[in-house]
């Protein structure tokens, strides 16, 4: 059964708009690409792997239990933490007291060094106003009489020899007592001041140039006994001055040459 165009229903009319749309889309697909200007780049979509590298978008529940958290940005540094009060009260005083302690110790050592140098310089000269110690008098057999005046002594030591230089002024009785204790007497003294050598006199700072008379004796003792070189100034017989060099020679078994 044929129908005329006038007898067709509205629904059976051809869809002109639909056909036009299909033709338009087909023409758009066949349209040539538009030319691009030189130097321009088209935006390219990021690959899924590249997008994942930028940041960790996983939630804390999706991360592995042992995985470390993502590092913080460089600009978001943590604020410095205040030190405990006990640290401040302990460290700060130490920073002040330790250098101060070093300064005090250095000053004390410098002072002791200066005093030791003074003592060393003084030990090269005769010391007056003091008796040799009891130990020195015993080792060198130097029995200084009681009440002696102008007492002075000097001790020198080397690797094999120790020498005690002593001088004092005593009475006539004190001289006899001293000579008896060292094993001699006034009668054994001979004239002259040659028993103490020039080098020994120079070491002690002695000069035997007075008017005298001068007498003396040299005694070499065996064994562990020290040697004695004695010179006596009898310018005033009642107040004689005695000079003694007592030598202990370790190399020869306490026996000097």
What is the domain count for the chain? 1
pLDDT for residue 102: 77
| pLDDT bracket for residue 255 (50, 70, 90) | very low
Q: Judge whether 232 lies within some domain.
A: yes
Q: Judge whether 80 lies within some domain.
A: no
Q: Judge whether 230 lies within some domain.
A: yes
Residue 161 makes CB contacts below 8 A (sequence gap 6+) with 247, 248, 249, 250, 251, 256
Residue 25 to residue 89: CA distance in whole angstroms: 84
- DSSP reduced 3-state for 149: strand
Tokens 């003091």 — which residue?
130
Range of the domain at 147: 127-249
Q: Judge whether 45 lies within some domain.
A: no
Distances (CA, A) of 55 to 48, 50, 59, 72: 12, 10, 12, 12
pTM greater than 0.75: no
Q: Judge whether 69 lies within some domain.
A: no
Q: Report which of residues 224 and 195 the model is more confident about.
A: 195
Residue 169 makes CB contacts below 8 A (sequence gap 6+) with 148, 149, 150, 239, 240, 241, 242
Distances (CA, A) of 130 to 49, 114, 119, 174, 194: 101, 23, 15, 18, 27
Please state the three-class secondary structure of 166-211 as a single string: EEEECCHHHHHHHHHHCCCCHHHCEECCCCCCHHHHHHHCCCCCCC
Pick from 212, 224, 228: nearest CA to 255: 224
Residue 219 to residue 256: CA distance in whole angstroms: 10
Residue 72 to residue 82: CA distance in whole angstroms: 21
Q: What is the rounded average pLDDT of the residues 78-104?
A: 76
Q: Two tokens at 118?
A: 């003074």
Among 8-12, 89-93, 121-125, name the one with the lowest average pLDDT: 8-12
The share of the chain scoring above pLDDT 70, in percent, equals 60
Q: Judge whether 113 lies within some domain.
A: no
| pLDDT bracket for residue 158 (50, 70, 90) | confident
Residue 111 to residue 123: CA distance in whole angstroms: 18
> 227: which strand partners?
247
Q: Judge whether 24 lies within some domain.
A: no
Q: Judge whether 90 lies within some domain.
A: no
| pLDDT bracket for residue 78 (50, 70, 90) | low
Q: Is residue 31's pLDDT more than 90?
A: no
The string of pLDDT tens digits covering residues 176-185 is 999 999 999 9
Among 107-116, 139-148, 232-241, name the one with the lowest average pLDDT: 107-116
């Amino acid at each position: 059964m044929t129908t005329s165009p006038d007898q067709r229903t509205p629904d059976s009319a051809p869809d002109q708009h639909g056909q036009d749309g299909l033709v338009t889309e087909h023409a758009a697909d066949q349209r040539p690409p538009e030319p691009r200007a030189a130097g321009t780049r088209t935006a390219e979509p990021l690959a899924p792997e590249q997008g994942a590298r930028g940041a960790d978008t996983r939630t804390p529940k999706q991360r592995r239990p042992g995985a470390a958290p993502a590092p913080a940005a460089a600009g978001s540094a943590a604020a410095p933490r205040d030190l405990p009060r006990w640290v401040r009260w302990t460290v700060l005083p130490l920073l002040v007291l330790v250098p101060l302690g070093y300064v005090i110790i250095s000053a004390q050592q410098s002072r002791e060094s200066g005093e030791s140098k003074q003592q060393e310089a003084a030990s090269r000269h005769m010391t007056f106003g003091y008796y040799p110690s009891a130990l020195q008098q015993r080792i060198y057999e130097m029995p200084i009489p009681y009440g002696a005046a102008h007492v002075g002594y000097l001790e020198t030591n080397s690797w094999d020899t120790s020498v005690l230089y002593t001088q004092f002024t005593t009475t006539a009785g004190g001289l006899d007592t001293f000579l008896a204790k060292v094993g001699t007497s006034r009668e054994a003294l001979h004239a002259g001041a040659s028993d103490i050598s020039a080098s020994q006199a120079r070491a002690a700072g002695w000069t035997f140039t007075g008017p005298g008379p001068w007498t003396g004796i040299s005694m070499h003792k065996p064994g562990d006994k020290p040697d004695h070189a004695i010179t006596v100034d009898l310018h005033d017989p009642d107040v004689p001055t005695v000079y003694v060099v007592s030598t202990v020679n370790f190399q020869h078994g306490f026996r000097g040459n």
